Amino acid sequence: MTEEQEFWEKCGFNSFPSEEQRYVSYPSRNRNSRYRTRDVLEYVPVTKWIYPEGHNRTSLPPIDLNNLFLYAVPKLLYVTLENCSGGYIAYASNDMKTSYRETDENPAIALYKALRGVLC
Residue 20 has pLDDT above 70, yes or no: no
Per-residue pLDDT of 62-90, as tens digits, reads 999 999 999 999 988 888 889 988 899 99
Q: What is the mean pLDDT of residues 49-58?
A: 88
**DSSP line for 2-64:** -HHHHHHHHTT-EEEEEEEEEEEEEEEE-TT-SSEEEEEEEEEEEEEEE-TTS-EESSPPP-S
85: phi then psi, degrees, rounded to nearest 5: -65, -30
Please report, for residues 56, 66, 70, 97, the alpha-carbon distance to residue 104 in angstroms, rounded to integers and kept in the order given: 32, 17, 21, 24
User: Which amino acid makes up residue 53?
Assistant: E
Domain map of the chain by residue range? 3-119
Give the mean pLDDT of the chain: 82
| Residues 114 and 100: beta-carbon distance below 8 Å | yes
Contact 88, 107 (CB under 8 A): yes
